[in-house]
Structure 1
Amino acid sequence: MKTPSGQPVATPAEASVETSPKAPAGASARRVARSRRSVTLVAGCVLAGLVVAIAVVSLVWLPYAPDDTSGDRLMPPGAAHPLGTDKLGRDLLTQLMIGARIALTVGIGSVLLGGVLGVLGGLAAGFATRWLDDTVAALLDILIAFPTLLLAMLVVAVQSASLWSAVVAIGLGMSAVVARLTRVLVKRVLAQDYITAARTSGTSWPRVVTEHVLPNIWPTLLVNLALQLGLAVLAEASLSYLGLGPPPPNASWGRMLQEAQTTVLTAPVGAVAPGVLLVMLVVGVNLIADGLRDVADPTRRRTR
């Protein structure tokens, strides 16, 4: 349609199309990011959840006793032994289920121990005086530079190999990492203006810690502890592979791998099965940590 002067005039339908608001490009990117976070968390929960389910079932039911050697040596998978037997005639499915329980016990126990010691040490360093903070920072750097596995080997060698020795050894090794991260986060929070305002208004330091410091640092700490869980599981498997893990009849994935290395060609299930479960648990925990990192930091955008 045209005006008397010959200028075109937009029809109501055309005007509505031209003036209709367009969806912002950032909204689509946010939806994609949220979808990726969901997929990462779900995949991690599924992988780790399968191992957790196996460990929980092992608490109430096992196909055979852990020390039952009534089966023939290196039997292939069958009705009596779904995954076969090892070179001593023990049921592999039973050992895998017990190994899942031990891996989670050592992993969660060492993370709890390392988290408590690390957070307390980091808080103390964050509130310490300048020279004391520098001293603590130097000590933490030395502990972090010291190989965690070697430290665990020393602790286990002193206390003898046991389940709780592995928990203490791995927990002490990771506490330095948690302490250094906590120290950095605490100092960052204490430098904020609202901390100065809280202190000016008469808020005590314990209340500052519980009401301001801890609520602002726990998301980052949670992600780090989730990553430490995967490392703790690998450390336990490494100790067991070296013979410094929980002693028999407790089965460990690391010791199963060590025992099966001589029969990997004739009975591969004994080496493949614990390796698959170990990878599933570590990858699942890392995926959960990756998803938690995105949730804790919504501004983070990943390019894939």
Structure 2
Amino acid sequence: MRLLLHPGWSKTGTSALQTYFATFYDRYLKEGVLYPKAGRFIDNAHHGLALAAAPRAGLDFSSPLDQVLNEILAEVSSSGAQTVVISSELSPNYFEIPAFDRLFDAFDEIGVIFTLRPQSEILVSLYKQLLKDASLDFNSSILDLFLENIRWLDFETSISQWKNAAVLHRPKLDVVLYSADALIKEFASVAQLPVFEFQQRPNTSPSDLATAALAKTFDFRNSVERLGIREQFVAHVMENAKGVGIEGFPLTRDERAFIDRVFDRSNMRIAREYLGREVLFEGTARDHDHAIMNDATFQAFARLLVQSFDAGGQP
């Protein structure tokens, strides 16, 4: 039997992959592939397994690790599957946790597949998600967010830690590069799995304009937040702020290039080891390919968004 672990990174199409495998649970099972229902928590990811192994503040999952592992092993045993896929971007390094040895010992072959994306793109996507989430009181700048997560964005360090901790189990490590159109097919190809046609995109980010509106109207939103209707305000902004970019927002071209250059050497080593080439990503610092609104015009537009929301209409 073969176990495939997918530990992320976050913002690299993980939600799409997890939704895909959950959607085709029955079809994959007929092909001898199990995406366990045990260990899932929040959407379609195996966050329950990850949180049982390494609890996180603010994510309430209380089942003990032994119980979750027992449930997964029981499902594996009853399924008759020859390949098991477990996916969670919250995954700690499972190979560092002794309790996981009995899970690993149930398999003849173990693989770990990392999905990667240019660091500047991950940062922008994470920033958009934090602004979009109505349950969070997020008002940091994107550069502050970068500094807070610079170690997490260093792919090489984390992959090396997984590799070093897993030496006794000798897993096969692979990387798959993010693509909005081809990620599922690329992942299935590397994992040597059949692939089914799938169109859903479950985790759409706000447009650049909507992101800018959410960020730059932070000082204008006090009355909205006091009324407890932040979620409706987010939906209003996303609906009425489409198709136009903000010059230099959320990162200028030079800022994107700088962030990606920070990781050039470590990314090059990953490219050499796992892809047999010199460059991991190409063309990471991109100009806007749509209309640009200057900041002065945008400030007026942002205020109109708040006014139109209060009036229940459109700007």
TM-score, reference length from structure 1: 0.28
The structure richer in strand per residue is 2
Structure number with larger C-alpha Rg:
1
The structure richer in helix per residue is 1
